Amino acid sequence: MSNPNNIPQHVAIIMDGNGRWAAKKALPKIAGHRAGVKAVRKVLRGAKDLGIKVLTLYTFSTENWNRPKREVAALFRLLEEYLDKEANGLIKNNIRFSIIGDIKGLPESLQEKLAKVIESTKNNTGLILNLALNYGSRAEIIAAVRSISKAFLDERIAIDD
Protein backbone atom coordinates (compact mmCIF):
# COMPACT_ATOMS: atom_id res chain seq x y z
CA MET A 1 0.00 0.00 0.00
CA SER A 2 1.40 3.42 -0.85
CA ASN A 3 0.44 7.01 -0.23
CA PRO A 4 -0.55 9.52 -2.95
CA ASN A 5 3.12 10.40 -3.53
CA ASN A 6 3.83 6.73 -4.31
CA ILE A 7 6.02 6.39 -1.22
CA PRO A 8 5.65 3.01 0.50
CA GLN A 9 4.30 3.10 4.03
CA HIS A 10 6.51 0.22 5.20
CA VAL A 11 10.06 -0.50 4.08
CA ALA A 12 11.97 -3.56 5.26
CA ILE A 13 15.71 -4.00 4.83
CA ILE A 14 17.72 -7.17 5.32
CA MET A 15 21.05 -6.02 6.70
CA ASP A 16 23.50 -8.27 4.92
CA GLY A 17 26.95 -7.95 3.43
CA ASN A 18 28.75 -5.95 6.12
CA GLY A 19 31.36 -8.68 6.58
CA ARG A 20 31.93 -8.99 2.83
CA TRP A 21 32.24 -5.20 2.55
CA ALA A 22 34.91 -5.21 5.29
CA ALA A 23 36.77 -8.16 3.72
CA LYS A 24 36.97 -6.34 0.36
CA LYS A 25 38.60 -3.43 2.18
CA ALA A 26 40.91 -5.75 4.19
CA LEU A 27 39.20 -4.65 7.42
CA PRO A 28 37.93 -6.76 10.32
CA LYS A 29 34.27 -7.81 10.15
CA ILE A 30 33.31 -5.51 13.01
CA ALA A 31 34.40 -2.54 10.86
CA GLY A 32 31.80 -3.65 8.33
CA HIS A 33 29.16 -3.87 11.04
CA ARG A 34 30.10 -0.36 12.26
CA ALA A 35 29.73 0.91 8.70
CA GLY A 36 26.31 -0.74 8.65
CA VAL A 37 25.31 1.29 11.72
CA LYS A 38 26.32 4.49 9.92
CA ALA A 39 24.19 3.41 6.96
CA VAL A 40 21.25 2.83 9.33
CA ARG A 41 21.47 6.44 10.50
CA LYS A 42 21.27 7.66 6.89
CA VAL A 43 18.42 5.28 6.02
CA LEU A 44 16.47 6.28 9.13
CA ARG A 45 16.85 9.97 8.30
CA GLY A 46 15.83 9.37 4.69
CA ALA A 47 12.82 7.26 5.66
CA LYS A 48 11.63 9.94 8.05
CA ASP A 49 12.14 12.70 5.47
CA LEU A 50 10.20 10.73 2.84
CA GLY A 51 7.26 10.14 5.18
CA ILE A 52 7.68 6.38 5.44
CA LYS A 53 5.62 5.22 8.41
CA VAL A 54 7.43 1.97 9.31
CA LEU A 55 11.03 0.90 8.79
CA THR A 56 11.93 -2.69 9.66
CA LEU A 57 15.58 -3.69 9.82
CA TYR A 58 16.33 -7.41 9.81
CA THR A 59 19.43 -7.32 11.96
CA PHE A 60 20.08 -10.68 13.65
CA SER A 61 18.39 -13.90 12.58
CA THR A 62 18.38 -17.19 14.47
CA GLU A 63 20.88 -18.44 11.88
CA ASN A 64 23.34 -15.74 13.02
CA TRP A 65 23.95 -17.73 16.21
CA ASN A 66 26.11 -19.99 14.01
CA ARG A 67 28.66 -17.20 13.57
CA PRO A 68 31.81 -17.24 15.72
CA LYS A 69 31.02 -16.42 19.37
CA ARG A 70 33.33 -13.39 19.32
CA GLU A 71 31.52 -11.94 16.32
CA VAL A 72 28.09 -12.50 17.91
CA ALA A 73 29.26 -10.85 21.13
CA ALA A 74 30.68 -7.92 19.13
CA LEU A 75 27.36 -7.50 17.30
CA PHE A 76 25.48 -7.33 20.58
CA ARG A 77 27.99 -4.83 22.02
CA LEU A 78 27.58 -2.72 18.89
CA LEU A 79 23.79 -2.75 19.28
CA GLU A 80 24.13 -1.72 22.93
CA GLU A 81 26.43 1.16 21.88
CA TYR A 82 23.88 2.22 19.26
CA LEU A 83 21.07 2.21 21.80
CA ASP A 84 23.16 4.25 24.25
CA LYS A 85 24.05 6.84 21.60
CA GLU A 86 20.78 7.03 19.69
CA ALA A 87 18.00 6.65 22.29
CA ASN A 88 17.71 10.40 22.88
CA GLY A 89 17.70 11.02 19.13
CA LEU A 90 14.82 8.61 18.70
CA ILE A 91 12.85 10.49 21.33
CA LYS A 92 13.78 13.89 19.89
CA ASN A 93 12.79 12.81 16.37
CA ASN A 94 9.47 11.29 17.50
CA ILE A 95 10.52 7.77 16.40
CA ARG A 96 8.91 4.79 18.12
CA PHE A 97 11.30 1.89 18.63
CA SER A 98 10.02 -1.67 18.51
CA ILE A 99 11.37 -5.22 18.38
CA ILE A 100 10.11 -8.24 16.49
CA GLY A 101 11.57 -11.64 17.28
CA ASP A 102 12.46 -13.48 20.46
CA ILE A 103 14.81 -11.39 22.58
CA LYS A 104 14.80 -13.84 25.51
CA GLY A 105 17.96 -15.49 24.20
CA LEU A 106 19.90 -12.24 23.95
CA PRO A 107 22.29 -11.03 26.65
CA GLU A 108 20.42 -9.69 29.67
CA SER A 109 22.06 -6.26 29.51
CA LEU A 110 20.92 -5.92 25.89
CA GLN A 111 17.38 -7.03 26.78
CA GLU A 112 17.28 -4.34 29.46
CA LYS A 113 18.47 -1.61 27.10
CA LEU A 114 16.00 -2.68 24.42
CA ALA A 115 13.16 -2.58 26.95
CA LYS A 116 14.25 0.85 28.17
CA VAL A 117 14.31 2.34 24.66
CA ILE A 118 10.98 0.72 23.78
CA GLU A 119 9.45 2.18 26.93
CA SER A 120 10.94 5.65 26.42
CA THR A 121 9.65 5.87 22.83
CA LYS A 122 6.28 4.12 23.23
CA ASN A 123 4.27 7.35 22.98
CA ASN A 124 6.09 8.69 19.93
CA THR A 125 3.78 9.12 16.97
CA GLY A 126 6.20 9.43 14.06
CA LEU A 127 8.13 6.75 12.20
CA ILE A 128 8.13 3.28 13.72
CA LEU A 129 11.56 1.63 13.73
CA ASN A 130 11.32 -2.16 14.06
CA LEU A 131 14.45 -4.20 14.68
CA ALA A 132 14.08 -7.87 13.85
CA LEU A 133 16.26 -9.63 16.40
CA ASN A 134 16.64 -13.36 16.90
CA TYR A 135 13.97 -14.05 14.32
CA GLY A 136 13.64 -16.91 11.90
CA SER A 137 10.91 -18.51 9.85
CA ARG A 138 11.53 -21.99 11.25
CA ALA A 139 11.29 -20.76 14.84
CA GLU A 140 8.17 -18.74 14.02
CA ILE A 141 6.47 -21.73 12.39
CA ILE A 142 7.28 -23.93 15.39
CA ALA A 143 5.93 -21.28 17.79
CA ALA A 144 2.72 -20.95 15.75
CA VAL A 145 2.17 -24.72 15.64
CA ARG A 146 2.73 -24.95 19.40
CA SER A 147 0.31 -22.09 20.05
CA ILE A 148 -2.38 -23.63 17.83
CA SER A 149 -1.83 -27.08 19.36
CA LYS A 150 -2.17 -25.68 22.86
CA ALA A 151 -5.35 -23.81 21.92
CA PHE A 152 -6.76 -27.07 20.51
CA LEU A 153 -5.80 -29.06 23.61
CA ASP A 154 -7.35 -26.36 25.81
CA GLU A 155 -10.49 -26.64 23.67
CA ARG A 156 -10.35 -22.98 22.66
CA ILE A 157 -10.42 -23.94 18.98
CA ALA A 158 -11.84 -26.86 17.01
CA ILE A 159 -9.74 -29.02 14.70
CA ASP A 160 -11.44 -27.47 11.65
CA ASP A 161 -10.42 -23.99 12.82
Q: Is 123 a catalytic residue?
A: no
Residue 11 DSSP SS3: strand
List 5, 18, 64, 160, catalytic entry: 64
Comparing CA positions, the residue from 45, 17, 11 lying closest to residue 33 is 17
Q: By the 8 A CB rule, do 9 and 1 touch?
A: yes
Q: Using CA atoms, how far apart are residues 64 and 81, in angstroms rounded to an integer?
A: 19
Distances (CA, A) of 132 to 31, 92, 151, 157: 21, 23, 26, 30
Q: Using CA atoms, how far apart are residues 161 and 153, in angstroms rounded to an integer?
A: 13
The 3-class SS string of 91-118 reads HHCCCEEEEECCHHHCCHHHHHHHHHHH
Q: Is 102 a catalytic residue?
A: no
List 3, 5, 16, 84, catalytic entry: 16
The residues that are catalytic are 16, 64
